[in-house]
Structure 1
Amino acid sequence: MVLLIISCNAVKKVQEDQHLLTENKIFVNDEEISKRQIFDQLYQEPNAKLPLLGIPLKLHIYNAANPNPDTTFYKWLHKKPKREKRLINWLSKKQVEKIGQSYVGFHEFLEDAGEAPVILNKEKTERSASRLKAWYWNHGWFNVETDYNIEKLENKRAKVEYRIKPHQAYILDSISERIASPQTDSVYQQHKEESLVVSGEQFETDKFNAERDRIVSLFRNNGFYHFEQEYISFDADTIDTNHKVNIDLVIADRNIQKEDTAYTVPYRAHYISDVNIFTDYTYSNKERSITDSASFKGYTLYSFDKLKYKPEAIADAVFIKKGEVYRDLDRSLTYRRMNQLGIFKYPDIQYMSDPRDSTGTQLITNIFLTPKEKFGVDFNFDVSRSNIQDFGIGFGGSLLIRNVFGGAETLEIGGRGSIGSSNDAADSEDRFFNISEIGADVNLSFPKIAFPINTDGIIPKSMFPFTTVSAGVSTQQNIGLDKHNVTGKFNYRWYPNDELTHRLDLIDLQYVRNLNSSNYFNVYRNSFSRLNNIAQNNFDQVENSYFNEDSNPNDDNLPNLSIPDGAQSFIRDFNNNTYNFSSEENQITRNIIERRNRLTQDNLILASNFSYIKNTKENIYDQDFTQFRFKVEAAGSTLSLVAPLLNLDKNDNDNYNLFGVEFSQYGKFETDFIKHWDLGQQNIFAIRALGGIAVPYGNSNSIPFARSFFAGGANDNRGWQAYDLGPGSSGGINEFNEANMKITLNAEYRFNLFGQLNSAVFVDAGNIWNVLDNVEDERSRFTSIKDFREIAVSSGLGLRYDLSFFVIRFDVGFKTYNPAYNRQEWFQHYNFAHAVYNVGINYPF
């Protein structure tokens, strides 16, 4: 394919008197530069090329399009006298027309998906040189010189070189102010040290624009309701200053135009005299009279019908306060908080002069709120296939109740269920749909921190706090070990600023009960196979009744252990030291028993955790941002303290049981760092570093399966399927491999192919290990710094189709370094036969 593309003629659609622009070079003081920021000033850049290969794929796609497809099709159709007639007789006239339309549509698609050749334009080259000059001028090089040279080649191609001589840059020297209004001058002087225009720094136009924005924000957040940016100007003096700039900041008085008269007045701070909130405003209500009202801490709430909201709940979402100075920030915070409540449409906030005030400095605030529908209903349905089920149907629904108790609360009640078909079902009974799961959830959210002590001093309402109480139950039938799962959470979340999110799960409860533990070896066939091999290798020591049928020890085909009775009896005898196995067989059997006991035991987890999340991404289109998250979790500590006081029973492991279940006790830490660099022209480089460790102690010697780590999959190390990698160098011998320590490193270079189709090349590295728990297999454990050699590496490439609201992703991962191999770990299975194909939604990080 690459050879075919290379052989394409890039100048196929370039006219004889035209030249294809193939390269731009920029030299500053005769030194070539590559800064993307500088190249972005050019009006013409060569056609985009594929990274590494350097092929203008989009150009070749465009060139492949027929410029006159309709004419070409009809020429072909009528080339032979009877061709059209034969096609019509064979198909129909309508079908032949559709073939022509499809042919035309395909070539139109090629044109849209491709990229027209960039033809050298001298006028655009001159404009580019002028724009480069303007860029350097705006960064302080007032004496900059720019020039360009066009090199036209014989093969209808051309190159352009831009040459720049910046000369000496200008530095800011003295900075003075002329501010007409005394009140604005007083506010400015109080915040003068925050100025972005600083003496001694190089002149930059962008800093002056940013300083204008700062001054406008400063004044409009200190009461100056009428202040606008047009009243700010900067006078610069560079005459005989030896490459220094003297700046004079000028802020004029307010200009008022009344009919044919214009005059100026000094700015004066405005204050809020009243705050009126209309809680059920609609266009149809505008002519109606108010029938109900209430007052709370300076706020007056009005309603055209009976007031349905607790005054304190609505007032708590308003940051504009009676008697305080006018601030743009208060209005923005009110907009944001009202939207977060989810019970109103976008609010309308209006200010008007108070007719009772003779000074002209008082403002009345009117807030118009339009309620959303009290009830919302949602349904979902899906069809799926997975490694658990061959075919599955899922369904669910939820009922949303807004303002359920009158305090802006939101209550959501949901149910979900699924049925499926699986050859591995515990009890198929010859039914097609032989596995099922059903569950229900309830979630109550309200806009404050619910705590016995007032937390406003620590978490003020400007941090938009929420409290959520949730609970859920689910049950499975014929899926693995079958489970009852009960969850409950009581958590807080708040936002210290636009980039930060804090979340505290004060109570995180999970109870897991296995209903069919005897089915373990039917589900975890790898574990059974290894246990069965040991039993068969020592057939003469094992009771014949443990096997599926009687057999002579001399037979070549030995029977298998029966499930569950035979396998359980074999394990019981092993624990009673009945057998004389080799040390390796003893270790393998102990590992199998340890894993079986852990995965079949019921779990009771009572934890608390805190999450810190920082995200500099401004919107969905921002491609240059940083994300950082860490989470700390502690489970079982409270229960461990009260267990002796409650005189709880202990089990055979000398650990406490609560309601017959050994509660988990551990400490857990997770961190995740993501960084994206926008390289321009839809090229993005992204990295991620993720790590975590969970250490059992006290009442536990292992981590519950639900809270452990796994590796592999579409969003992790893509050379391995989910749960297939690790732990350590063990080689993923279990169906679901997990451990209590994890490291993952990812790097990905993303680029556009054509249209909405993007691609990427990536390298993933990482693994999981057991540490400080009861796993004895040395291959799975992390014991020293040398074990970092067991970090697995994969690499590959992928395709991504961008549908704007989400991305469909297909990645192919190759095992580049596999720590499970004792020798020749690198590139041992680097081929499509051992590749892993991942399908996902949105980007992996």
Structure 2
Amino acid sequence: MSKKHNHTTNYFTKCVALFSLFFILGCSNTKYLPEGDFLYVGGSVKVKDSIIKKKDRKALETELEGLLRPKPNKSFLGLRPKLWFYNIAGEPKKQKGLRYWLKNKVGEEPVLFSKVDLDYNASVLRNYTENKGFFKTRVSADSTVRNKRATAEYVVTPRKQYIIKSVTFPDDSLKMSKIIGRSSRRSLLKVGKPYDLDLIKAERERIDARLKEKGYYYFNPDYLLAQVDSSKGDHEVKIKIVIKNETPAKALRAYTINNIFVYPNYSLANDTMVYRQRDIVKYKDFTIIDTADTFKPRVFDRTIYFKKGDLYNRKDHNLTLNRFVNLGTFSFVKNEFKPSDSIDNALDSYYFLTLLPKKFIRVEVLGKTNSASYTGTEINLNWNNRNFFRGAELFTASVFGGADFQLGGPNKGRNIYKLGGEVSLTWPRFITPFNIEGNSEFVPRTKATLRYEYQKRTQLYALNSFNTSFGYLWKENIRKEHQLNVIDVTYVSPNHVTPEYQQDIDEDPALGRVIEKQLIFGPTYNYTYTNTMQKRRKNTIYFNGELDLAGNITGLVTGADYKKDNVKTIFDVPFSQYVKIRTDFRHYLKLGKESELASRLIVGAGFAYGNSKTLPTSKQFVVGGTNSIRAFRARTLGPGSYVIPPQTNLTYTPDQSADLKLEFNTEYRAKLFSIVRGAVFFDAGNIWLLNADPDKPGAEISKDFMKEIAIGAGVGLRFDLSFLILRTDLAIPLRNPALPDGQRWLIDKIDFGNGAWRKDNLILNIAIGYPF
């Protein structure tokens, strides 16, 4: 028999097996149904109207179908695998084990047609369309049964949609009515637009929010009535907003703030509030009852936005509560307003604050592996004090240590060890010569940090790294965040450089830059914008931009210039002078309830000048690895088309870094079942040197840089364990810029059946969290 005939027979056999599986999955889901009942497989809505545009009619049908209940079992390609797992699991004898897991975690109970109430659904559809202005809508319902499967069909026949002819607001003598009238230009109800009950409700909320800003603390939307008159005109309505006659008198009055009481040691278990006179402190407009003298009074002056005599407004009310929460020292924040006993139309404000533990220790243990075949662990021990100087400052002292072992590959035996410590102090305010106080709901912060790290690469070298920084962190709102370090100093010094590594430097001079002494200082700025927390949006984005300026003013003042052999030093160490910019843009497209397309673009550039010939190694860009181009091992890709010369006697793969970076990633993510999510991804990018290096031919950027883009693809699983996400990605290279031009595409060389190919090209990445 020929190979071609063999191949055809195998293909036919697979198709028959696949068809049989589909048939079994489809049929077996109905044989378990109760006698006389049917499997409900969904409902449809048809809008019969010749006036509504086809596009609007389809949109209305989609909205109405979303209201039908119950929802049928989830399906995939016409099959219902969750229901199939539920059926084959049978009845578990105990609440654990494989059968119980299949039935209750993976499986899904059948949705029976007996649970479908056609009349109820018809009334829901009728109410919805009438609330959208299609008054006197008719709805009919029917069902179809075939092969023990039932569907429901609804026909909606709306009348012509009513349009808003006019909108009027209260015109009485109340001050409140005048406020409502002045805000009418912001009304959500527009003449000429369709009648919509949801918009009327939203308009009441809008008016209430406006009144809350003007002191009307006791008012609420239920005190507003929308009178709708549809008796005159051709499918038009007149809407009149009025204040109900039964509105309480206190809701018609604006209130000011009188006394402000703060209880920083409030206990939920004991709220009798019996205090000694010495526990009561008067500070400006506040009365502070602090039994343990926990906080300096100015903490509350910066946090509470109400002052005595202020008109109540919801903005300052919410701003104060959010800032108390964001101080990070309270587990519970409660606020009450009560009518003042001494002043008419005034409120006394009470803030009850429950403290978090002042001191706590946190231990973090992390296991990790990466695509460079390193497997290791890291431990962090942190001691924290939430109120270090009685001003809600956060003091943190931590020690950390870790080890990465390479169990195979070219770096076997060259393990990495690190040990270090860090102390930081964060103030909940800006510490500047000027009085700067933001009005955001997020508390601005000033942070000072001192850090030391010792890193040893066995058989090669060790590095001592010192860093200190002082800067500011602030958020404009929930979407925009800034970090400015006005002082950021890093000093790196080599230690225990082995003769072997010195010999390697003779063969590859670029390796010498890794162990050069480095002094880096200058301001850094970081800006982040994101709206990914808005779950209902179909498109969300994340943007992060970094600007790093090192030694710029010092270099200009001293006239440093390495080209003129005029390199300046501080404590006998040349300081770095460069400008570095990096941007990270991400886009998330929601494709369904449990699926999305996530994409990322990273662009980075660093330019060394003046006192520096190149960027410090620690500041250069790298590519490849678990959170980068996953088909290439960490830090081994690039720069450009550079390849380590084959005659080099290095017994390990050195890290590769450069001045420029371009990277693009995209992946499709979808929930498979239970806690398991799947992904299909595509990565591309590379790094380049800005200037030619004779020791690294092909590493510099050129007009043909796009021909040096590396490409990889793969599939992955993510296990959502609620407290963390465990990620596994299996990737293969599709294009390798290190190969000769014309031979870089590898698609035609893919051979999963070849063991040698799998060993060289299948890259497994195991990590915590999503790559982006």
Instruction: Indicate the TM-score class for this superposition, using the shorter chain for normalisation.
Output: 0.7 to 0.9
CA 439–799 in structure 1, closer or farther in 2 if over 3 Å, else same: same
Contact 2:188/2:202 (8 A) holds in 1: yes
| Number of residue equivalences | 726
Show the counterpart of 1:535: none
Which secondary structure state, in structure 2, belongs to the residue aligned with residue 10 of structure 1? helix
After superposition, what is the alpha-carbon deviation per residue over 1:564-593, rounded to whole angstroms, capped at 9, x for unaligned? Answer: 56556x56xxxxxxxxxxxxxxxxxxxx32
Question: 2:764 and 2:469 mapped to 1: Cα distance?
Answer: 36
Q: Which stretches in structure 1 are left out of the alignment for 5+ residues?
A: 71-100, 257-263, 520-562, 572-591
Contact 2:25/2:79 (8 A) holds in 1: no
CA positional deviation for 1:747: 2.7
CA 843–292 in structure 1, closer or farther in 2 if over 3 Å, else same: same
Question: 1:792 and 1:779 mapped to 2: Cα distance?
Answer: 14
CA 720–144 in structure 1, closer or farther in 2 if over 3 Å, else same: farther
Question: 1:767 and 1:12 mapped to 2: Cα distance?
Answer: 51
Question: 2:47 and 2:658 mapped to 1: Cα distance?
Answer: 55
**1:751 and 2:670 matched:** yes
Question: 2:769 and 2:628 mapped to 1: Cα distance?
Answer: 13
Question: 2:733 and 2:58 mapped to 1: Cα distance?
Answer: 38
Task: Kindly report which structure 2 residues correspond to 1:240-389, keeping only aligned pairs within 5 A, or say none.
Answer: 240-252=232-244, 255-256=247-248, 264=249, 267-282=252-267, 283=270, 286-305=273-292, 307-357=293-343, 360-382=344-366
Q: 2:454 aligns with which of 472, 475, 496?
A: 475
Which secondary structure state, in structure 1, belongs to the residue aligned with residue 25 of structure 2? coil
After superposition, the CA RMSD in angstroms is 3.7
CA 341–622 in structure 1, closer or farther in 2 if over 3 Å, else same: farther
> 764-773 vs 467-476, which deviates more?
764-773
Task: Kindly report which structure 2 residues correspond to 1:437-452, keeping only aligned pairs within 5 A, or say none.
Answer: 437-452=418-433
Contact 1:651/1:657 (8 A) holds in 2: no
Show the counterpart of 1:835: 762
CA 27–823 in structure 1, closer or farther in 2 if over 3 Å, else same: farther
Contact 2:621/2:659 (8 A) holds in 1: yes
Question: 2:762 and 2:230 mapped to 1: Cα distance?
Answer: 66
**1:726 and 2:638 matched:** yes
After superposition, what is the alpha-carbon deviation per residue over 1:702-737, rounded to whole angstroms, capped at 9, x for unaligned? Answer: 222222222223323232332233333446985423
CA positional deviation for 1:452: 1.0
**1:495 and 2:475 matched:** yes
CA positional deviation for 1:486: 0.7
Question: 1:665 and 1:29 mapped to 2: Cα distance?
Answer: 72
After superposition, what is the alpha-carbon deviation per residue over 1:252-311, rounded to whole angstroms, capped at 9, x for unaligned? Answer: 36634xxxxxxx567111000121223333327722323144443322323224x34222
Show the counterpart of 1:597: 512
CA 56–33 in structure 1, closer or farther in 2 if over 3 Å, else same: farther
Which secondary structure state, in structure 1, belongs to the residue aligned with residue 349 of structure 2? strand
Show the counterpart of 2:550: 635
Question: 2:489 and 2:719 mapped to 1: Cα distance?
Answer: 39
CA positional deviation for 1:233: 2.2
Show the counterpart of 2:84: 60
For 1:455, the aligned partner's letter is: I
Question: 1:17 and 1:825 mapped to 2: Cα distance?
Answer: 61
Question: 1:242 and 1:789 mapped to 2: Cα distance?
Answer: 67
CA positional deviation for 1:508: 2.0
Show the counterpart of 1:790: 708
CA 246–278 in structure 1, closer or farther in 2 if over 3 Å, else same: same
**1:114 and 2:138 matched:** no
Question: 2:562 and 2:723 mapped to 1: Cα distance?
Answer: 53
For 2:729, the aligned partner's letter is: D
CA positional deviation for 1:622: 8.6
**1:713 and 2:698 matched:** no
Q: 2:690 aligns with which of 771, 777, 789?
A: 771
Question: 1:193 and 1:166 mapped to 2: Cα distance?
Answer: 32
CA positional deviation for 1:651: 9.9
Question: 1:512 and 1:39 mapped to 2: Cα distance?
Answer: 64
Show the counterpart of 2:213: 221
Contact 1:180/1:251 (8 A) holds in 2: no
CA 642–681 in structure 1, closer or farther in 2 if over 3 Å, else same: same
Question: 2:738 and 2:128 mapped to 1: Cα distance?
Answer: 55
Which secondary structure state, in structure 1, belongs to the residue aligned with residue 83 of structure 2? helix
CA 206–502 in structure 1, closer or farther in 2 if over 3 Å, else same: farther
For 1:450, the aligned partner's letter is: I
Question: 1:460 and 1:452 mapped to 2: Cα distance?
Answer: 19
Show the counterpart of 2:755: none
Which secondary structure state, in structure 2, belongs to the residue aligned with residue 11 of structure 1? helix
Show the counterpart of 1:581: none
Question: 1:654 and 1:5 mapped to 2: Cα distance?
Answer: 77
Question: 1:265 and 1:393 mapped to 2: Cα distance?
Answer: 63
For 1:364, the aligned partner's letter is: D
Show the counterpart of 2:7: none
CA positional deviation for 1:514: 1.9
Q: Which stretches in structure 2 are left out of the alignment for 5+ residues?
A: 1-13, 646-652, 753-757
Which secondary structure state, in structure 1, belongs to the residue aligned with residue 190 of structure 2? coil
CA positional deviation for 1:774: 5.0
Show the counterpart of 1:514: 494
> 123-132 vs 712-721, which deviates more?
123-132
Show the counterpart of 1:801: 719
Contact 2:693/2:700 (8 A) holds in 1: no
Question: 1:600 and 1:696 mapped to 2: Cα distance?
Answer: 18
Question: 1:435 and 1:792 mapped to 2: Cα distance?
Answer: 28
Contact 2:368/2:766 (8 A) holds in 1: no
**1:9 and 2:25 matched:** yes
> 736-745 vs 441-450, which deviates more?
736-745
Which secondary structure state, in structure 2, belongs to the residue aligned with residue 226 of structure 1? coil
Question: 2:693 and 2:28 mapped to 1: Cα distance?
Answer: 69
CA positional deviation for 1:652: 9.1
Which secondary structure state, in structure 1, belongs to the residue aligned with residue 204 of structure 2? helix
Question: 1:748 and 1:565 mapped to 2: Cα distance?
Answer: 43
CA 810–233 in structure 1, closer or farther in 2 if over 3 Å, else same: farther
CA positional deviation for 1:105: 3.1
Question: 2:636 and 2:136 mapped to 1: Cα distance?
Answer: 63
CA positional deviation for 1:517: 4.1
Which secondary structure state, in structure 2, belongs to the residue aligned with residue 403 of structure 1? coil
After superposition, what is the alpha-carbon deviation per residue over 1:622-665, rounded to whole angstroms, capped at 9, x for unaligned? Answer: 98643222222222212213334xxx897995432222222222
Contact 1:636/1:664 (8 A) holds in 2: yes
Contact 1:606/1:664 (8 A) holds in 2: yes
CA 453–393 in structure 1, closer or farther in 2 if over 3 Å, else same: same
Contact 1:418/1:438 (8 A) holds in 2: yes
CA 145–8 in structure 1, closer or farther in 2 if over 3 Å, else same: same
Question: 2:484 and 2:538 mapped to 1: Cα distance?
Answer: 29
CA 344–392 in structure 1, closer or farther in 2 if over 3 Å, else same: same
Question: 1:728 and 1:41 mapped to 2: Cα distance?
Answer: 55
Question: 1:418 and 1:377 mapped to 2: Cα distance?
Answer: 19
Question: 2:406 and 2:632 mapped to 1: Cα distance?
Answer: 24
CA positional deviation for 1:467: 0.6
After superposition, what is the alpha-carbon deviation per residue over 1:544-579, rounded to whole angstroms, capped at 9, x for unaligned? Answer: xxxxxxxxxxxxxxxxxxx356556x56xxxxxxxx
Which secondary structure state, in structure 1, belongs to the residue aligned with residue 557 of structure 2? helix
CA 436–799 in structure 1, closer or farther in 2 if over 3 Å, else same: closer
CA 117–455 in structure 1, closer or farther in 2 if over 3 Å, else same: same
Contact 1:141/1:169 (8 A) holds in 2: yes
Which secondary structure state, in structure 2, belongs to the residue aligned with residue 213 of structure 1? helix
CA 44–788 in structure 1, closer or farther in 2 if over 3 Å, else same: farther
